[in-house]
Structure 1
Amino acid sequence: MEDKKGFARGGKPHNLTIENREKISVSGVTNVVSFDDETVILETDLGVLTIKGQGLHINKLNLDDGQVSIDGEVINLNYSDKVGFIGKSGGFISRMFK
């Protein structure tokens, strides 16, 4: 089943938890597009999630379960429906293991 924006539903649930603007737990992650200490870009079942901050660090990454945990100072979160900009080559993780 797809919603009106074309995102597949029925996969793993997508949840986002922020603790004191210092820890973020995200579920429903399908790919890590890119990351550094100021920006983490995640592809989720419901679109692209961009997390901006300072001292960001991916603490836990399990794409089999769709779980990502990030530590650092969170400044901004942004969802985008534009998954297409990622391209056919995949994200950082898929390029790393080619």
Structure 2
Amino acid sequence: MERYNYESSMDKVMKTPEHDVVMKGRKSLEITGVKQVESFDNEEFLLQTTMGYLAIRGHHLKMKNLNVEQGHVSIEGRIFDLVYLENQDGDKTKGFFGKLFK
């Protein structure tokens, strides 16, 4: 009978930070699993997460909390959309619409 090594499988799970996105009333976002904030202004945020690049578009967006060590970002404002981007050519300098309509 083969034994299941519970501890080693839990170690693998703990090494990958969990990525969650919680939106409250299109006015605030709580995001975990953020590796890096690539760019942001009052209309667009581009975050590198453990699940890929996440673009957030809206109006009057502002960062309320940033904890790089824990990978946590809080954003407030009027949120229009959230899009995960596929980075096929490695070019992070394109704007939101350039990546979206590639």
* 2:66 matched residue in structure 1: 61
| TM-score normalised according to structure 1 size | 0.75
Q: Does residue 1:12 correspond to 2:14, yes or no?
A: no
- Residue 75 of structure 2 is matched in structure 1 by 70
Q: Counterpart in 2 of 1:45?
A: 50
- The higher-RCO structure (CA 8 Å, 6+ apart) is 1
Cα distance between partner residues in 1 of 2:19 and 2:86 = 15
What is the CA–CA distance in structure 1 between the aligned matches of 2:92 and 2:38, rounded to whole Å? 7
* Bigger-Rg structure (1/2): 2
**Number of the residue aligned with 1:6:** none
Which of these residues, 21, 30, 33, is aligned with residue 25 of structure 1?
30
- Residue 11 of structure 1, CA deviation: 1.2
Task: Supply the distance in 1 between the matched residues of 2:52 and 2:41 (Cα, whole angstroms).
Answer: 20
Shift in Å at residue 86 of structure 1?
3.1
CA distance in 2, matches of 1:38, 1:45: 23
Work out whether 1:85 is the aligned partner of 2:91.
yes
Shift of 1:82: 1.0
Whole-Å Cα distance in 1 between the matches of residues 62 and 51 of structure 2? 23
Structure 1's unaligned 5+ residue stretches are: 1-8, 88-98
Letter in 1 for 2:28: K
Percent identity over the alignment is 33
Considering fraction of residues, name the structure with more helix: 2
CA distance in 2, matches of 1:23, 1:76: 12
Q: Would you say how many aligned residue pairs link Structure 1 and Structure 2?
A: 79
Query: 2: distance between equivalents of 1:81 and 1:29?
Result: 16
Provide the rounded CA distance (Å) in 2 between the counterparts of 1:75 and 1:49.
13
After TM superposition, the runs of 4+ consecutive aligned structure 1 residues lying more than 3 A away are none
